[in-house]
Amino acid sequence: MRERLALARYVLAENPLNLLAMGLLALLVACSALGPWLAPYDPLATNTAIALRPPSAAHWFGTDQLGRDIFSRVLVATRLDLAIAFGAVLLSLSIGAVIGAAMGYFGGMLDQAGGRVVDVLMAFPLFALAMGVVAALGNSVSSVIYATAVINLPFYVRLARAEVSVRRGLGYVEAARVGGSSHARILRVFLLPNILPTLVVQASLNLGWAVLNAAGLSFIGLGVRAPTAEWGIMVAEGAQFILSGRWWLTVFPGGALMLAVFCFNLLGDGLRDIVDPRSRT
């Protein structure tokens, strides 16, 4: 543990972008955990007397068409959007890594059949596929998570298959096989941990896509339903007021969305440097 912490400090000091990514991640996690308690107003409380007020000392991000405080809604929405992103990526990573590793290790009919299924999934426009899944399952948070996991699944299957295909004939795998290790133990102990750094980098990128996908589904009315505080819903509700000059209705939730995607895109390299065993040599 001490060596891992020392490596993390070195990686953060070596590349300022890694430090920026970690700082943004800490900010997002803090907003997610403490948002409901830090919000100065009830994100669902309406007050038409102060509707469409610009940013001020009382309402830092202004108010929307129903008089709700936009800062409170953006803050509270962080928990929901991050929960959807992390839930979907964790689900697709867990399932995709196991399926892809099995395909790459055993090969044969399993590899061919799995490859055709992945090709079929990749043949569809991914966002259109997510729309179809949500339309079939219904508008709910769980449906958005499942839909986002489905469209991310092929990336992990292909990546895990390619990495395991390269490693299954290496010396340490052959030694484990000769030593009597079962196929399941070889996959679990020797192969999956060694492909984890590559999967983690892919997961950090998918987190940004997952946030965008959840917001996009909500924007077109297929994701989380209003009046729930969610970035995509807030952008959709504020879009109709852009021409009238009420820019704050879309700029602040859109900026939060952009910040989250930017954070996760920067995070990949830092996580790879920390998790990859080769960086400790």
The per-residue pLDDT for range 241-260, each reduced to its tens digit, is: 988 888 999 999 999 999 99
What pLDDT sits at residue 6? 65
What confidence score (pLDDT) does residue 176 get?
Answer: 82
Average pLDDT over the chain reads 86
The Cα 188–Cα 101 span in angstroms is: 10
pLDDT of residue 62: 92
Angstrom distance (rounded) from CA 167 to CA 145? 32
Asked whether 70 and 52 are in contact (CB, 8 A), the reply is: no
The pLDDT of 196-204, averaged and rounded, is 85
**Highest mean pLDDT of the ranges 6-20, 89-103, 120-134, 169-183:** 89-103
Which residues are within 8 A (CB) of 98 and not within 5 positions of it... i.e. 6 or more apart? 160, 192
The encoded tokens of residue 245 equal 């000059």
Other CB atoms within 10 A of residue 54 CB:
12
Spell out the domain ranges in the chain. 79-268
Q: What percent of the chain has pLDDT over 70?
A: 90
Closest to 214 (Cα-Cα) out of 261, 180, 158, 181: 261
What pLDDT was estimated at residue 281?
Answer: 47
63 forms beta bridges with 69
Which CATH architecture best describes the domain 79-268?
Orthogonal Bundle (1.10)
Residue with the two structure tokens 């959807």: 84
- pLDDT band at residue 55 using 50, 70 and 90 as cut-offs: very high
- Which pLDDT score, from 0 to 100, does residue 14 have? 65
Residue 186: name the closest of 272, 106, 93 by CA.
106
- Residue that wins the pLDDT comparison between 182 and 16: 182
Does the pLDDT of residue 147 top 70, yes or no?
A: yes
User: What's the confidence (pLDDT) of residue 41?
Assistant: 92
What is the DSSP code (8-state) at residue 170?
S
User: What pLDDT does 177 receive?
Assistant: 82
pTM: 0.87
Confidence of residue 82 (pLDDT cuts 50, 70, 90): very high
Mean pLDDT of the region 199-207: 87
